[in-house]
Amino acid sequence: MVANIFILTGAGISAASGVPTFRGADGLWEGHHIEDVASPEGFARDPVLVHEFYNQRRAALSRVNPNRAHAALVTLERAVIAHGGDFTLVTQNVDDLHQRAGSERLFPMHGQLTRARCTACGWAGDAPPLLSSAHSCPACARKGDVRPDIIWFGEMPYFMEEIEERLANADLFAAIGTSGHVYPAAGFVREARRAGAVTIELNLEPSAIRGQFDHAIEGNADETVPIWVDGVLGQLHGDR
Ligand code: APR
């Protein structure tokens, strides 16, 4: 019986929507070393570059749409809930495609492009379309302390308590479109296994941690995820 489903997604699920993944073949993220644009040190060194980088990513959201994989996970969520089960979707992605597709039990553990926060007073809210060091915090009015609400290397991801609790109760764990290079997310499969969950990876190619999964399906997520979801739905309905 499948009662508690835990899904982890990464950049690969948004690839078919036209959002570039992080680790391209050249090891760069859209021409930048990842640590230059995704670390507090990189931000301190060159805030203009980092603001500009995220302003471009934020603007690009208006040119992309959720794909069939995002939609299939919404179908799965609704079916599992209707069936009396529990559903958790944790994404490492900072795009808003799961939200726009209609996912509700969603935990964006690495933050969101559409959000900003102030490092001086702790304010967090909607990001303006263009963020810069000249921006004043809407709460404390200080200039220069509002940054993208994105978890960078060395920072603690959001929702870790909720995630740990749900992993401990998972019956089925699926990782979709993630390279398995970044922790703590790359460690979730081990925790799910420890909880007795069946584990599966759906990725374009075997990830760095492929060996830790019970099963794997290779291919484009927008093709493999809807088919896999159909199979899980069949199992759910068979449980009735
Ligand atoms: N369908 C399925 N998988 C795909 C597709 C696709 N169409 N295209 C690419 N992939 C796979 C790649 O093979 C790769 O294994 O998705 C994975 C994407 O890996 P990364 O670019 O490393 O992205 P992700 O795992 O989400 O990165 C994790 O790293 O830089 C940080 O915080 C950032 O959240 C990010 C984290």
Give per-residue pLDDT as tens, 188-240.
Answer: 999 999 999 999 999 999 999 999 999 999 999 999 999 999 999 999 888 65
Query: Of 110, 135, 181, 237, which is the active-site residue?
Result: 110
Low-confidence ranges of the chain (pLDDT < 70): 1-2, 25-28, 239-240
pLDDT at 34: 87
Q: Output the residue whose Cα is nearest ligand 1's atom 35.
A: 92
Going by C-beta distance under 8 Å and a sequence separation of 6 or more, which residues neighbour residue 140? 118, 120, 121, 123
Q: Output the residue whose Cα is nearest ligand 1's atom 10.
A: 12
Amino acid at position 109, single letter? M
pLDDT at 28: 67
At 92, which helix (H) or strand (E)?
Answer: none
pLDDT at 238: 83
Ligand 1 pocket: which of 178, 201, 209 to mutate (most atoms <8 Å of CB)?
A: 178
pLDDT at 240: 56
pLDDT at 92: 98
pLDDT at 1: 57
In the reported structure, the alpha carbon of residue 23 is separated from the centroid of ligand 1 by a whole-number distance in angstroms of 7
Phi/psi at 176 (5° precision) = -120, 120
What distances in angstroms separate CA 58 from CA 24, 44, 62, 89, 110, one per listed residue? 19, 20, 8, 22, 15
Amino acid at position 93, single letter? N
In the reported structure, the alpha carbon of residue 92 is separated from the centroid of ligand 1 by a whole-number distance in angstroms of 9
110 is a catalytic site residue: yes
pTM attached to this predicted model = 0.96
In the reported structure, the alpha carbon of residue 146 is separated from the centroid of ligand 1 by a whole-number distance in angstroms of 27
Q: Which burial class, exposed, middle or buried, applies to 158 when counting CB atoms under 10 A from its CB (0-12, 13-18, 19+)?
A: middle
Going by C-beta distance under 8 Å and a sequence separation of 6 or more, which residues neighbour residue 202? 174, 175, 176, 177, 216, 217, 219, 221, 224, 225, 228
> Ligand 1: which atom is nearest the Cα of residue 152?
32
Give the number of residues written for the chain: 240
* Residue 49 in tokens: 């570059």
Q: Verify cis geometry, omega within 30 degrees of 0, for the bond prior to 226.
A: no
In the reported structure, the alpha carbon of residue 9 is separated from the centroid of ligand 1 by a whole-number distance in angstroms of 8
Tokens 């997604």 label which residue?
9
Domains and CATH numbers, the chain: 1-19+65-110+157-240 (3.40.50.1220), 20-63+111-150 (3.30.1600.10)
pLDDT at 175: 99
Tokens 């996970």 label which residue?
73
Nearest to 89 by CA among 71, 111, 108: 108
Residues in the ligand 1 pocket, defined by CB under 6 Å: 10-12, 15-16, 21-23, 34, 38, 92, 110, 177-179, 181-182, 203-205, 207, 220-221
In the reported structure, the alpha carbon of residue 21 is separated from the centroid of ligand 1 by a whole-number distance in angstroms of 5
